Amino acid sequence: MPKATAVWLVDNTSLSFEQIADFCGLHPLEVRGIADGDVARDIRGVDPVTGGQLTREELDKAQADENYRMKAIVSRHAELLKSAKPAPKYTPVSRRQDRPDAIAWFVRNHPEVTDAQIAKLLGTTKSTIESVRNRTHWNSANIKPVDPVTLGLVGQLALDEIVKKAADKKAKDDLKNGGGTILPVAEEVEEEPEFVPEARQRPGAEPTAESVFGAKD
């Protein structure tokens, strides 16, 4: 509780209002109100040193220099309690009606993208995706495939990334199952026509009277 810490610092230290306000995240006027008894009158002060928020050395250093700003101790327990799992994607209520259209776009244009990937990207459920795919959704008659970027549900970079990942995984699975092979791209070389020497025509002999009129008997 910031105000409880501020109450203790006001009562037990010679820190300035600005120093206490900076450490507790309060406004200096609010700290002044605590000192005057106008603010946090019924709040009991909490020692930040014994509470593990502040070291005695840091407190003494601040009391010796009014321009010094104290640095709080980062609790290891607080870091461990932080959830490593990202928060689920939140979609505004005004945009939720557009999600079936985006799902239909994925089903039609990118069947390689898994339902889990679509659900995570759009903030929807696998059952909703399945109902759109099988046309059992309650609003199937009005669902039309629309690019989720156009709908404002995702950014273009996020969409490109998930489509690329899905395509790469599908290509690897196809290779593993023997369903396809990746052939190296060969450079096209223009074949030169085969050289054929021209046939030489031997000129015939000049005609003679004997060859024209026949031999004389």
**Ordered DSSP codes for 180-191:** --PPPPPPP-PP
- 74 shares a domain with 137: no
- DSSP summary character for residue 50: T
- 169 shares a domain with 109: yes
- Give the three-class secondary structure for 75: coil
- Give the three-class secondary structure for 80: helix
- Does 198 fall in a domain? no
- 75 shares a domain with 7: yes
- 76 shares a domain with 119: no
- 121 shares a domain with 64: no
The better pLDDT of the pair 37, 67 is held by 67
Least confident segment among 9-23, 33-47, 137-151: 33-47
> Do 48 and 55 contact (CB within 8 A), yes or no?
no
- Whether 85 shows a pLDDT value over 60: the answer reads no
The better pLDDT of the pair 205, 124 is held by 124
- 158 shares a domain with 120: yes
What value does the mean pLDDT take over residues 169-175? 85
- Give the three-class secondary structure for 179: coil
Last residue in a domain, options 81, 101, 132: 81
> Do 147 and 105 contact (CB within 8 A), yes or no?
yes
- Does 212 fall in a domain? no
Last residue in a domain, options 81, 111, 145: 81
Exposed e or buried b for every residue in 18-54, given b needs 16+ CB within 10 A? ebbbbbbebeeebbebbeeeebbeeeebbebeeeebb
Tokens of 102: 């985006």
Q: What pLDDT shows up at residue 107?
A: 93
d(CA 173, CA 135) in angstroms, rounded, equals: 28
What value does the mean pLDDT take over residues 52-64? 90
Q: What pLDDT shows up at residue 54?
A: 87
Count other Cβ atoms within 10 Å, centred on residue 190. Answer: 4
Percent of the chain with pLDDT over 70: 71
Least confident segment among 29-38, 148-157, 173-182: 173-182
Read off the pLDDT band of 94 (50, 70, 90).
Answer: very low
- Model-wide pTM > 0.75: no
Show the domain range for 61: 2-81
Read off the pLDDT band of 77 (50, 70, 90).
Answer: very low
Those residues with Cβ within 8 angstroms of residue 34's Cβ, 6 or more apart along the chain or in another chain: 3, 6, 7, 10, 40
- 77 shares a domain with 100: no
- 104 shares a domain with 170: yes
pLDDT (tens digit, 9 = 90+) per residue, 99-153?
Answer: 899 999 999 999 999 999 999 988 889 999 999 999 998 888 899 999 988 888 8
Residues in the chain: 217
Number of domains present in the structure of the chain: 2
- Does 151 fall in a domain? yes
The better pLDDT of the pair 190, 50 is held by 50
- Does 217 fall in a domain? no
d(CA 106, CA 112) in angstroms, rounded, equals: 9
d(CA 42, CA 148) in angstroms, rounded, equals: 53
